[in-house]
Amino acid sequence: MAVVGSGFSGIGTAVALRRADIEDFVVLERAGSLGGTWRDNT
């Protein structure tokens, strides 16, 4: 499974997957770090 983006929703989805004992996924982010809009506006 691929989670596209590491903003609020992407990070939340990754956390939910891990809590459901799902480990076979990757988070894709085009920027060099996590955070999405949070990163861009700080």
SS3 sequence, 13-39? HHHHHHHCCCCCCEEECCCCCCCCHHH
Check whether 42 has a pLDDT greater than 80: no
The predicted structure's pLDDT at residue 22: 98
Q: Can you give the pLDDT at residue 29?
A: 94
Residue 15 lies in a domain: yes
pTM for the model: 0.81
More confidently predicted of 19 and 31: 19
Domains: count for the chain: 1
Asked whether residue 25 is domain-assigned, the answer is yes
| Any domain includes 42 | no
Q: Domain for residue 29, yes or no?
A: yes
Is the Cβ–Cβ distance between 34 and 6 less than 8 Å? yes
Q: Which domain holds residue 26?
A: 2-34
On average, the pLDDT of the chain sits at: 93
